C-alpha cells in the first residue's frame, strides 16, 4: 500500500493586494514544511462498504465527508474528467489519511490533502492530466490547492491563489507550533476588510517577491509580514498569550513558525 505525502506550508509573508468580487487578492510566499505532512493511501473497501457505494474517508476528521476537501476534490475531478474508472476506484477503495497537520491552523493541511488526492488519482488511473489542469480543478476546492499541485519548495502565490510562480531558494527548516485555537478564515478576512483594509502597493509587492525568505523574515515583524495577524488578534484575543517573540504567523492562523536556529554549522 503506497503512501503519498501531503506536506504543510507556511506563509513567509502574506499581503493583501486588493479585492475581486467576494475574494481578496494576495501576494504571498509559500514554503513547504518538509518535516510536517499527512500521509494518504488507497485501501480496499470491505464487501459491505463497496456495496453501499459511498465515498469513504478513513481518518481523524471533525467534518462530514461532504465537507471534506478530499471529497470536494473527487467531485471536481469527476466533473472535469467524466471518468468511469474514477467512480469505480472510489466504489471499491477508501482513501486513508494519517493526519499530522492540524486543522484550522494556517498550514494548508486540507488543501494539501486535496492536491495530493488529485495527483494520486491522476497517476493511478492514468488520466493524463497536466499539472496546469490539476491546478485548475484544485482551485475549485480551495485557493491554496494549486501551490500543492505544483509541488514547489517555495513559490510566490498571487491573485486568489491561481498564480503560482516558483521561487528559487534553499528550503528552510522550521519550528512550528499550533495553539489550540480554531480560527475561521472568513471571519479573519472580514475583520481585515472592515478594520484593517490597506492593500500593499505594486512596488512593495514586487520588492517582497524578489527577496529571499530569510531576508524577509529578518527585515519584518510578525505584524508587518502578515496582513491577517492583526485582524486575527482582534477576533481571537487568546492568540496573544500564545505568541512568542521571533515567531511569525502563518496564513490566517493559528500556527506560528520560525526558522530553526543553526549552531556551529549544525541544526539544534
pLDDT digits (tens, 9 = 90+) for 148-168: 999 999 999 999 999 999 999
109 belongs to an annotated ligand binding site: yes
203 belongs to an annotated ligand binding site: no
Residue pointed to by grid coordinates 481585515? 192
pLDDT of residue 264: 39
Question: Model-level pTM?
Answer: 0.93
Same domain, 157 and 183: no
108 belongs to an annotated ligand binding site: yes
Q: Which of 15, 38, 113, 144 is catalytic?
A: 144
pLDDT of residue 99: 96
CB contact at 8 A, 210 and 232: no
Same domain, 33 and 137: yes
138 belongs to an annotated ligand binding site: no
Query: Domain with 58 in it: what CATH number?
Result: 3.30.230.10
* Helices 69-81 + 131-139 axis angle, to 10: 120
111 belongs to an annotated ligand binding site: yes
The Cβ of residue 241 has, within 10 Å, a number of other Cβ atoms equal to 8
**Residue 145: CA atoms inside 13 Å, Cβ hemisphere, count?**
27
214 is catalytic: no
Same domain, 15 and 99: yes
Rounded (5°) CA angle 77-92-81: 20
Q: Choose one of 116, 146, 166: the last residue of a domain.
A: 166
Range of the domain at 49: 4-166
Report DSSP state, residue 226. Answer: B
pLDDT of residue 48: 73
Query: Domain with 205 in it: what CATH number?
Result: 3.30.70.890
Q: Which of 9, 45, 56, 119 is catalytic?
A: 9
Residue pointed to by grid coordinates 482551485? 139
Q: Which residues of the chain have pLDDT under 50?
A: 264-268
9 is catalytic: yes
Amino acid at each position: 500500500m503506497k503512501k503519498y505525502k501531503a506536506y504543510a506550508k507556511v506563509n513567509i509573508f502574506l499581503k493583501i493586494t486588493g479585492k475581486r468580487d467576494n475574494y481578496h487578492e494576495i501576494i504571498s510566499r509559500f514554503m513547504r514544511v518538509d518535516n510536517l505532512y499527512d500521509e494518504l493511501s488507497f485501501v480496499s473497501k470491505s464487501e459491505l462498504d463497496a456495496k453501499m457505494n459511498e465515498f469513504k474517508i478513513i481518518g481523524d476528521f471533525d467534518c462530514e465527508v461532504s465537507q471534506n476537501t478530499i471529497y470536494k476534490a473527487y467531485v471536481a475531478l469527476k466533473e472535469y474528467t467524466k471518468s468511469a474508472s474514477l467512480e469505480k476506484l472510489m466504489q471499491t477503495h477508501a482513501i486513508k489519511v494519517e493526519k499530522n497537520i492540524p486543522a484550522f491552523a494556517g498550514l494548508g493541511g486540507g488543501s494539501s490533502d486535496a492536491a495530493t488526492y488529485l495527483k494520486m488519482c491522476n497517476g493511478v488511473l492514468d488520466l493524463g492530466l497536466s499539472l496546469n489542469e490539476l491546478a485548475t480543478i484544485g482551485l475549485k476546492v480551495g485557493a491554496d490547492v494549486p501551490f500543492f499541485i505544483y509541488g514547489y519548495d517555495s513559490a510566490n502565490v498571487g491573485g486568489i491563489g491561481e498564480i503560482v510562480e516558483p521561487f528559487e531558494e534553499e528550503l528552510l527548516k522550521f519550528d512550528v507550533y499550533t495553539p489550540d485555537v480554531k480560527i475561521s478564515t472568513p471571519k479573519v478576512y472580514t475583520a481585515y476588510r472592515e478594520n484593517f483594509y490597506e492593500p500593499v502597493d505594486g512596488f512593495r509587492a514586487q520588492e517582497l517577491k524578489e527577496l529571499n525568505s530569510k531576508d524577509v523574515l529578518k527585515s519584518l515583524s510578525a505584524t508587518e509580514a502578515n496582513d491577517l495577524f492583526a485582524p486575527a488578534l482582534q477576533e481571537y484575543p487568546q492568540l496573544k498569550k500564545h505568541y512568542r517573540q521571533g515567531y511569525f504567523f502563518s496564513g490566517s492562523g493559528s500556527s506560528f513558525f520560525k526558522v530553526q536556529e543553526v549552531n556551529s554549522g549544525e541544526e539544534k
